[in-house]
A and B are shown apart, each in its own frame.
Chain A
Amino acid sequence: DIVMTQSPDSLAVSLGERATINCKSSQSVLYSSDNKNYLAWYQQKPRQPPKLLIYWASTRESGVPDRFSGSGSGTDFTLTISSLQAEDVAVYYCQQYYSIPLTFGPGTKVDIK
């Protein structure tokens, strides 16, 4: 199984400031045949289902504000919120879809400082 870890567990950022979440996979999720990283980021607000933000590690889903960006390759990935807004308070999960079983990181809680 590919184990996904995230850091930090939680963070508090002032409105308008940058928030950075890290995700690490226990093995590479970069598929050499298509040079894609099989890594997604989701946002989950209380009492709501997860919402897809980023896929292929850096492709923003349609309708997602451009303050959200994903980067990284291989085993190390980052989700950046460039200017935190009040509505961004949520738990953020990374997920690998490179191999079965599909696995998620434990989540990072983002709050307002």
Chain B
Amino acid sequence: QLQLQESGPGLMKPSETMSLTCTVSGGSISSTSYYWGWIRQPPGKGLEWIASIYYSGNTYYNPSLKSRVTIFVDTSKNRFSLELSSVTAADTAVYYCARHVGSSYSYAYNPWGQGTLVTVSS
């Protein structure tokens, strides 16, 4: 059974760069059948797509965040990661990683990780 597990810093200060990792178990991130992605959810609010990536490194970004976001994959460790620079309080959210159910971004997400809360505060 495929499982995804996010890991992150928990608490960050404004202007720092956030690094999150999603470790995949029960399946290979190098599968040609799937894209992988990051989605976030501010406390008590809705869902915002951040970025998606293929094992080959092909990426798609939300234009609203593109200037601050990098998504990359490490196939040797079966994980993918997200970096978000110059964080502010507005970046406080639960960050989820998830798998697209197909080989492009044009597929729904399933499954999702449990999420990791990142709080940005001075």
Residues of A in contact with B (beta carbons under 8 Å apart)? 38, 40, 42, 48-52, 55, 61, 93, 95, 97-98, 100-107
Contacts and interface: CB of A to CB of B under 8 A. Distances in A.
B32 interface: no
Interface stretch (B7-15, B17-25, B78-86, B109-117): B109-117
18 contacts: A38-B106, A42-B109, A49-B113, A49-B115, A50-B47, A52-B101, A52-B108, A55-B107, A55-B110, A97-B105, A97-B107, A100-B60, A100-B62, A101-B49, A101-B62, A102-B49, A102-B62, A102-B105
Nearest to B52: A102
A94 B38 CA distance: 17
Nearest to A107: B46
A31 B110 CA distance: 21
Contact of A97 (B63, B96, B108, B115): B108
Contacts of A106: 46
Counting from the closest, the 3 A-B pairs by CB-CB distance are A40-B108, A49-B112, A52-B110
Interface of B: 37, 46-49, 52, 60, 62-64, 96, 98, 100-101, 105-115
Nearest to B66: A101
Instruction: Describe A's contact surface by its main secondary structure.
Output: loop
Contacts of A103: 49
Nearest to B101: A55
A100 B53 CA distance: 13
B109 A50 contact: yes
Contacts of B110: 51-52, 55, 61
B101 A101 contact: no
Contacts of B106: 38, 97-98
A48 B100 CA distance: 18
B108 A49 contact: no
A28 to B, nearest CB: 14
A61 B62 CA distance: 26
Nearest to A105: B46
Contacts of B105: 97, 100, 102
